[in-house]
Structure 1
């Protein structure tokens, strides 16, 4: 009998190469075992004797949080104000509202321990003492909500394995991850090849049917993390663990779960939707679509990509029913990020012999805030969450309020996708400054460049909350929270050695940020490629004092796609690329042959995505985070000059479009008086604000690329 996956390969996708090899990546952390109504591995569950009369239907509700990124409070630490659009404190109110049914379970999909100043504060304390002196505030909050299980996300590894192990010990619910294996130096007497976490669990839950009769329902949960964790957290994980593919692990363990008595199986992949093109690719980061083809998965609570499913974002996705919230008939939900949505799946079960089967399902994401509603705050904060972490909340406020220096001008990222920008410039300057202090003697003869990207530039343009996801650091006194706003992630500073030819291809991939513009069309054309390119992959490469310059010709097709895969070898968007060295201009072949040192971060340097990246190119790894280097640079410049100047050197621009056609090229940014005034003052090209905002509340501007 064919499986759903094999049927898909033979009918939907006939030309896919099956990939059977495992991928060796890393990720580690064995959670302390909790008392929980679940089975140990390979321990079959005894089924209830089948009643003579057919039982009534069971309605089971599954609630999901995901990608909280330590946004536990409904508070913006960067702007020092309550933010009703984010935070588990608000999501908790939704959880309690929608738990008023007979049968409900709650799961978390991971990316919990990193991503907000509170997460940084806790990790900072651990770094200086190598121990957590108290339960992590994320778990102080979550332990009040009766979670059934948590899954490990990729950002759980950001602060190292020792931190992860100690943090997880505070969770009063179990953790799972099926595809992370011990490689060496593991804890709890694990041997190479053992799962670092419990790969799955089966919860024996007493449920009530529609007639009020009670039954035992055996709910299986299985979790996954992207195989790319080794690339993203190489410094923490290298040599410690291996990672299997997501679908590969599902096909290994789900038959075991059914054999051990699981009535239904809920998959919890920390993985985005993905595409139907290659559902057997063992390396897939986003594999949810492929998991819907794995036999015996009844529901999927997923995350990772910070989107909302079901929603109009996924209109046209093969196999998706957005009204029911299914993919290939499997109920699936993804609840955004930072607690802005709660995932909800309702399953209807009927008795099937001595087991149960899903006969109907619906899934939806429930927002905590609706900017279009008369009363946009759809829920109030849960007081018990506020109370649970009141101490850590105040400590975080104190932590981010530490002064580090003074800035001569505003640093807002409203224009960071359409021109050189101060929020990217100051990071580039800091990375060059820090790297040059630490370069070994044998590399000092090479010119130093810096790759930096806008981390907060409209989010992913997928939810209404994204319109406020911009860096907003005003001139004057700077504190640590400003450095955290400018550099969102706890990456570490890493340098690679590259050729000029690789620099060009690096920039060619970055230029995928822009859609191709038709110079003969009068129709409105969107400049920003929101769908296929994340803004944190829009690297601007700069040299000291603007010594590297280039232009981007958006009338040309892309040479690479958003994953830096070659799509058109004849395409060239990067024009006039040159470097001024000792008064001599390098361009063309001379530039292509020149070697450079590029300051970047561990995520980029080890990622193997952009040209010139990967471990073979890495020449220096510093223990400092990029954010720490930025704070140090601001302090040093302030001490030396009285302030730091973040002004953009405008080393890149769009190439002018030569056409007789009146073009209507548009981009989106924040809709606010502050943004409007900033754009009027700093625009390098003519920009005209249109009257209406878009469907997500972004301001829409026309930009003139025909003259400069």
Structure 2
């Protein structure tokens, strides 16, 4: 049974409780500091490259936190979830487990930084509820979530909100108590993404529905200020019940005074959101509500400055401004802060142990496995994952004779493929030679579990059509520069490559689906010449497709959803990959992985000389690999200030 890690603070207030209001008019300036999507990146250290970094890590963010606190009298510090998973440090702690007396390193760090309150992210559930509960017991601050419900009782599974009486200084220097309410929300799809851990234990509620239910209660109990800690992103495309990214519509809920968002690994306010309705980028407001999304991996600190005025005994927000402060300047390529020495020392034991953990050998590779070109051609970094998944299923499928004998395909996507919202170094890079656990984690970033779905040939086609949404449409009559990859609206982890079939992608056609697999152009198709064993696939053909639990149970891509799953394995895709490397290395001395080039971008016929642009890692290792390994003509144009090398891709002639 889950131990509830937090209790309501409201009823503990002496001398009148939460309903007490100040009678004297005055002004308070409050600063709200926020982190989100740290993903266990506590140290400013890249465990995949085995080298320090200036671009991420809570030890760097901690310096921003301390600076921001020195600048103003009144501060609170909030974490928006996705904290315990996402780096080798997180995997190491989960693999060894925690004793009853042991604190998770993330809690050591958070406690030392004196966090005020936090909420849960979807990746908090990747290691199961018992482990999560053990982690949360070590927090010296409350955790809140309102839209995760007990599957049996439909009551809140965690404490939905808390109201904390906070001593603050007015601008006149008086000390008063401000009752600050905090309420947490999470993307409702956690019950799909972590079905194996959550099925039958919890259900989720729509974020907006939950907010409208609980926020009035918080106000009635005396909250002077209400802050929504929302582990979901910002999507203004139209409200849908149960939507994943509800931050925009949360800003419309009455009495929510400030919002922390996250989950989508973006930065708000930023130019990326310019043009959205009712969004003030300059002041960080959505529908007039101050909102911040502080990036990921600790690369930004969210800062919301709020001015409250007390009139007739009631505090009200009269001015607010939000921004995200970076730890690194991408233009000058320089660190904006140094790492916090106290936090480095506190985490040194876990850091040293993690380095030992990731350096455990698992096998050898004959070839370099680099993901610099994974978005434009078949990549060995995807090939090895698909080969491992197919081999696993071939060994375990139909042991009891209950399943049909069908062709086995496998789907995998590049998790680290760069992009303007990422880093020029954020690519899978596995050098040939001895392989260690860190290499397996580099190839497969998340602790997903393997699933198998049974789908039709038509669903294979539509699955790939959704994947092909990552490309911008290329206009064959336009000889001006055209960007190939749609980094703004499409995430590379949705660019599934399906091995076992062959196909081409026609990027001169508009996308059939948007980045969320919503049908937008029903009369077009980008996937052409789709074949299996040399024969065209027809709609009625049947296949097994090996994938992960997020995709298999997700229902977003054609052919996925609970009703399509025929195998839900207990084993993690990453562990399956590591075992495959070990087994093949033991038998053959090393793995020899090369892309089989089962897909390609279709050549373009045009009377004009097209200028199709593609950006990837801007360093010599990448440049040399691309020079020898590109299957299409790529002409280097420049390396821009963000460390990305820009190429012109020639699809009008074959290499």
TM-score band, normalised by shorter chain = over 0.9
Q: Cα distance, 1:380 vs. partner?
A: 1.2
Give SS of 2:638's match.
coil
Q: Does 438-447 or 237-246 show the bigger shift?
A: 438-447
Give SS of 1:253's match.
helix
2:600 aligned residue (653, 658, 671): 653
Alpha-carbon distance in 1 for matches of 2:38, 2:495: 24
Alpha-carbon distance in 2 for matches of 1:167, 1:542: 38
Give SS of 2:596's match.
coil
Q: 1:678 aligns to what?
A: 625
Q: Cα distance, 1:39 vs. partner?
A: 4.0
Q: Does 1:232 align with 2:170?
A: no
Cα-Cα RMSD: 1.6
Alpha-carbon distance in 1 for matches of 2:125, 2:141: 19
Q: Does 337-346 or 567-576 show the bigger shift?
A: 567-576
Give SS of 1:431's match.
helix
Q: 1:451 aligns to what?
A: 411
Give SS of 2:328's match.
coil
Q: Does 1:351 align with 2:310?
A: yes
Tell me, yes or no, if the aligned pair for 1:31 and 1:174 is still in contact at 8 Å: no
1:691 aligned residue (622, 633, 638): 638
Q: 1:399 aligns to what?
A: 357
Alpha-carbon distance in 2 for matches of 1:132, 1:371: 42
Alpha-carbon distance in 1 for matches of 2:537, 2:307: 65
Q: Does 1:319 align with 2:290?
A: no
Tell me, yes or no, if the aligned pair for 1:65 and 1:107 is still in contact at 8 Å: yes
Q: Cα distance, 1:304 vs. partner?
A: 0.7
Q: 1:62 aligns to what?
A: 32
Q: Does 1:111 align with 2:82?
A: yes
Aligned in 2, Cα 1:30/1:311: closer, same or farther, shift over 3 Å? farther
Q: Cα distance, 1:442 vs. partner?
A: 3.8
Map 1:199-218 → 2, pairs under 5 A: 199-218=160-179
Q: Does 1:73 align with 2:26?
A: no
Q: Cα distance, 1:513 vs. partner?
A: 0.8
Tell me, yes or no, if the aligned pair for 2:331 and 2:642 is still in contact at 8 Å: no
CA offset digits 1:131-163 (Å, max 9, x no partner): 566111000111011111011111111110111
Q: Does 1:379 align with 2:337?
A: yes
Q: Cα distance, 1:445 vs. partner?
A: 2.0
Give SS of 2:416's match.
coil
Q: 2:23 aligns to what?
A: 50
Alpha-carbon distance in 2 for matches of 1:395, 1:132: 19
Tell me, yes or no, if the aligned pair for 1:272 and 1:302 is still in contact at 8 Å: yes
Give SS of 1:175's match.
coil
Q: Does 674-683 or 438-447 show the bigger shift?
A: 438-447
1:504 aligned residue (461, 464, 471): 461
Q: 1:183 aligns to what?
A: 151
Tell me, yes or no, if the aligned pair for 2:499 and 2:598 is still in contact at 8 Å: yes
Tell me, yes or no, if the aligned pair for 2:6 and 2:142 is still in contact at 8 Å: yes
Give SS of 1:606's match.
helix
Q: Cα distance, 1:373 vs. partner?
A: 3.3
Give SS of 2:92's match.
helix
Alpha-carbon distance in 1 for matches of 2:12, 2:595: 58
Alpha-carbon distance in 2 for matches of 1:302, 1:423: 32
Q: Does 1:329 align with 2:288?
A: yes
1:521 aligned residue (475, 478, 482): 478
Aligned residue pairs, count: 649
Aligned in 2, Cα 1:578/1:133: closer, same or farther, shift over 3 Å? farther
2:371 aligned residue (393, 410, 413): 413
Give SS of 2:107's match.
helix
Alpha-carbon distance in 2 for matches of 1:513, 1:304: 19
CA offset digits 1:540-569 (Å, max 9, x no partner): 0002xxxx2100001111221111122222
Q: 1:479 aligns to what?
A: 436
Q: Does 1:147 align with 2:112?
A: no
Give SS of 1:387's match.
helix
Give SS of 1:501's match.
helix
Q: 1:16 aligns to what?
A: none
Map 1:447-596 → 2, pairs under 5 A: 447-458=407-418, 460-463=419-422, 466-543=423-500, 548-580=501-533, 585-589=534-538, 592-596=539-543
CA offset digits 1:637-683 (Å, max 9, x no partner): 11111110121000000111111111011111010001100000101
Tell me, yes or no, if the aligned pair for 2:6 and 2:144 is still in contact at 8 Å: no
Tell me, yes or no, if the aligned pair for 2:308 and 2:316 is still in contact at 8 Å: yes
Alpha-carbon distance in 2 for matches of 1:491, 1:555: 34
Q: TM-score, length-normalised on structure 1?
A: 0.90
CA offset digits 1:433-454 (Å, max 9, x no partner): 1111110134362111100110
Q: Which runs of 5+ in 1 are unaligned?
A: 1-27, 185-191
Q: 2:651 aligns to what?
A: 705
Alpha-carbon distance in 2 for matches of 1:343, 1:40: 30
